């Protein structure tokens, strides 16, 4: 259960100064964009609000003027004959209403539009208005052509004014309103009060936008200074972290180099141990041959000791080099007979030891047509000797038969060397392949020995590495009946 809930490691990201710079610029850009969008939204809202308020204030002013005229007319007693002084006062009141409204800088025109003898005319003075409303002397009034725009707009709204008796407004441009208020005297529609009003409240919008700009500048400045502070602190922190990481990387690199060197030394030590063990056995054979030296076997022992000595020289050379040059392994100068090498290894190494025991025996089936190879003879020795030794070590102790055969396919120009035994075979798990396709048996430190001797699991590894350097391939399989079979493929 503890493994199921084991927390996962968080992946670390390496941030540099360029990343922080991009982050800083992005945040600042987003803030500027948000500011402009917000400013545009506020400006749009103020414009709509101003448009609505301009229309409402203009209509209220026109309605108030119309109400004043209607109230003034309602207070006149038409049943009694008016004196000259009263007439003068009424006309003066009408003029005051007209003139007072025109004093406001937003109002451009003010008049009363009526129907005079079938024609539309505009009245903008108290005397004419008195004659039209009270004196009823319309014959003496002339149809004026003043206020042509008002008369033109009036023709567009007259039907609605008569039917609905509601204020009608026409917008010209952005803030000029032509307002028509129904003029009703004692329940009778007489005409309309026309007012051209151009209210301007842009100073309010400009003041709000100006205050907003000041607030935005202050806000952006505070954010900018905050981001700059964060940026400099972050860059300083990142710089210190990068310096610490560089030191850590250098230290880690040095440790890796030491570890690799140590591993190479360990591998080289194992290789020296392995080759030293082989050389020690060959030296024993040399001493034995020298003790048995006579005039009759002089040439035979001389030839055998010479090969033994050359093999020991090769072993010593391998002790000096961790990775020997290619020219010391293969080249056109080398002409090695594989059959002769295999016979010598069997007869002069393994059979000499087997003479003390009947645990195993050999069966050689060598093809005489096998061509020579351009590989050092003693490198070939180092390759095949561990394979044969592996069959002996893991084959068992009951009449082990090791068969060594060679054959040559002339058409495909391929030579095959097979080393077969009838022993217990190789454990199936050793045939598993790693990510490189190499079987586990040919990996370093892999062994089936139970005595855990030092150097175990190195023979097949060396054979595999040498075959690669020679340009050959090596493989192993278990036989159907019993035992195993190593196959070395050589392309001539």
Q: What DSSP assignment string belongs to 134-154?
A: II---TT-------HHHHHHH
The answer on pLDDT for 166 being more than 70 is: yes
pLDDT at 292 over 70: yes
416 vs 25: which has the higher pLDDT: 416
* Cα 58 from chain centroid (whole Å): 60
Task: Record the pTM.
Answer: 0.48
Average pLDDT of the residues in 172-196: 80
Over range 309-326, report the average pLDDT. 74
Q: CB within 8 A of 172, min separation 6: which ones?
A: 178
How much is the pLDDT for 7? 45
CATH architecture of 324-491: 2-Layer Sandwich (3.30)
Beta strands in 346-447 (DSSP E): 360-365, 400-409, 414-421
Average pLDDT for residues 142-168, to the nearest whole number? Answer: 81
CATH topology of domain 19-200: Beta-Lactamase (3.30.450)
Band (pLDDT 50/70/90 cuts) for residue 487 is very high
Closest CA to 271 of 468, 467, 442, 462: 462
pLDDT tens digits, one per residue of 84-138: 787 788 888 877 877 777 667 677 788 888 887 777 888 888 787 777 777 666 6
Query: Rounded mean pLDDT of 167-175?
Result: 80
Q: Radius of gyration of the chain from Cα atoms? A: 58
Res 457: pLDDT: 56
What whole-number distance in Å separates Cα of residue 479 and Cα of residue 304? 35
Read off the pLDDT of residues 360-375 as tens digits, 9 standing for 90 and up.
888 999 999 999 999 9
Extended strands (E) in 44-135: 107-116, 119-123
Residue 246, sorted as left (phi over 0), alpha (psi -120 to 50) or beta, turns out to be alpha
Which residues are paired to 405 by β-bridges? 365, 418
In terms of Cα–Cα distance, which of 160, 64, 159, 148 is closest to 113?
Answer: 148
Assess whether pLDDT exceeds 60 at residue 325: yes
**C-alpha span between 93 and 149 (Å, rounded):** 26
Using CA atoms, how far apart are residues 188 and 105, in angstroms rounded to an integer? 32
CB atoms within 10 A of CB 278: 21
449 pLDDT above the threshold of 60: no
CB 308 within 8 A of CB 285: yes
Confidence of residue 423 (pLDDT cuts 50, 70, 90): confident
Give the pLDDT mean for 317-323: 67
d(C-alpha 476, C-alpha 268), whole Å: 26
* Domain spans in the chain, listed from the N-terminal domain onward: 19-200, 324-491
Angle, CA 166 vertex, CA 160 and CA 171 arms, to 5°: 75
Pairing of strands 188-197, 360-365: unpaired
pLDDT tens digit sequence for 467-482: 888 889 999 999 888 8
Q: Are 50 and 202 in contact (CB under 8 A)?
A: yes
Mean per-residue pLDDT, 219-225: 78
Q: Residue 415: its pLDDT value, please?
A: 93
The greatest distance separating any two alpha carbons of the chain, rounded to the nearest whole angstrom, comes to: 181
- What does the alpha-carbon distance between residue 111 and residue 98 come to, in Å, rounded to a whole number? 8
Cα 278 to chain centroid distance, Å, stands at 57
Mean pLDDT of the chain: 78
Residues 6+ apart with CB under 8 A from 237: none
pLDDT digits (tens, 9 = 90+) for 228-281: 787 777 777 777 777 888 888 888 888 888 887 776 666 666 666 666 667 777
pLDDT band at 418 (very low <50, low <70, confident <90, very high): very high
Contacts of 454 (CB under 8 A, 6+ apart): 273
Q: For 42-75, how does the pLDDT look when each residue is reduced to its tens digit (9 = 90+)? A: 777 777 776 777 777 777 877 787 787 777 777 7
Q: Which residue has the higher pLDDT, 24 or 182?
A: 182
Does pLDDT of 427 surpass 60?
Answer: yes
Mean pLDDT for the stretch of residues 292-298: 85
Specify the DSSP element, H or E, that contains 196: strand 188-197
Q: What share of the chain is helix, strand, coil (3-state, %, to 5)?
A: 55, 15, 25
Asked, colleague to colleague, whether 19-200 and 324-491 share their fold, the answer is no
Contact 473, 408 (CB under 8 A): no
**Percentage of the chain with pLDDT > 70?**
82
pLDDT at 103: 66
């Amino acid at each position: 259960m503890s493994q199921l809930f084991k927390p996962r490691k968080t992946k670390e990201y390496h941030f540099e100064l360029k990343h922080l710079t991009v982050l800083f610029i992005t945040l600042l850009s987003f803030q500027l964009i948000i500011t402009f969008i917000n400013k545009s939204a506020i400006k749009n809202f103020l414009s709509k609000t101003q448009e609505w308020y301009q229309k409402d204030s203009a209509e209220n002013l026109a309605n108030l003027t119309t109400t004043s005229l209607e109230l003034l007319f309602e207070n006149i007693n038409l049943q009694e004959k008016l004196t000259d002084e009263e007439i003068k006062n009424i006309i003066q009141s009408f003029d005051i209403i007209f003139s007072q409204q025109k004093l406001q800088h937003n109002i451009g025109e003010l008049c009363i539009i009526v129907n005079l003898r079938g024609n539309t005319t505009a009245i903008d003075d108290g005397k004419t208005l008195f004659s039209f409303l009270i004196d009823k002397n319309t014959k003496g009034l002339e149809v004026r052509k003043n206020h042509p725009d008002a008369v033109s707009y009036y023709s567009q709204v007259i039907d609605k004014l008569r039917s609905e008796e509601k204020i009608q407004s026409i917008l010209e441009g952005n803030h000029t309103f032509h307002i028509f208020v129904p003029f009703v005297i004692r329940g009778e529609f007489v005409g309309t009060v026309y007012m051209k009003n151009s209210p301007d409240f842009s100073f309010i919008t400009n003041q709000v936008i100006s205050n907003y700009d000041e607030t935005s500048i202050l806000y952006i400045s505070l954010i900018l200074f905050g981001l700059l502070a964060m940026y400099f602190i972050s860059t300083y922190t990142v710089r210190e972290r990068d310096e610490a990481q560089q030191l850590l990387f250098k230290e880690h690199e040095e440790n890796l180099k030491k570890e690799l060197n140590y591993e190479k030394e360990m591998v080289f030590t194992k290789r020296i141990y392995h080759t030293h063990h082989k050389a020690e056995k060959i030296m024993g054979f040399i001493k034995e041959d020298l003790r048995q030296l006579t005039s009759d076997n002089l040439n035979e022992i001389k030839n055998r000791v010479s090969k033994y000595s050359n093999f020991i020289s090769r072993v010593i050379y391998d002790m000096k080099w961790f990775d020997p040059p290619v020219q010391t392994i293969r080249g056109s100068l080398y002409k090695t007979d594989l059959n002769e090498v295999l016979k010598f290894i069997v007869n002069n190494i393994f059979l000499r030891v087997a003479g003390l025991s009947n645990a195993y025996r050999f069966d050689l089936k060598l093809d005489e047509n096998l061509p020579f190879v351009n590989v050092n003879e003693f490198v070939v020795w180092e390759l095949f000797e561990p394979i044969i030794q592996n069959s002996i070590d893991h084959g068992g102790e009951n009449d082990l038969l090791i068969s060594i055969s060679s054959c040559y396919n002339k058409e495909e120009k391929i030579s095959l060397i097979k080393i077969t035994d009838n022993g217990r075979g190789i454990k199936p798990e050793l045939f598993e392949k790693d990510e490189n396709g190499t079987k586990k048996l040919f990996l370093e430190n892999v062994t089936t020995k139970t005595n855990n001797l030092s150097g175990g699991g190195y023979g097949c590894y060396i054979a595999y590495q040498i075959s690669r350097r020679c340009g050959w391939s090596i493989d192993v399989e278990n036989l159907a009946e019993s035992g195993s079979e190593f196959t070395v493929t050589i392309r001539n």
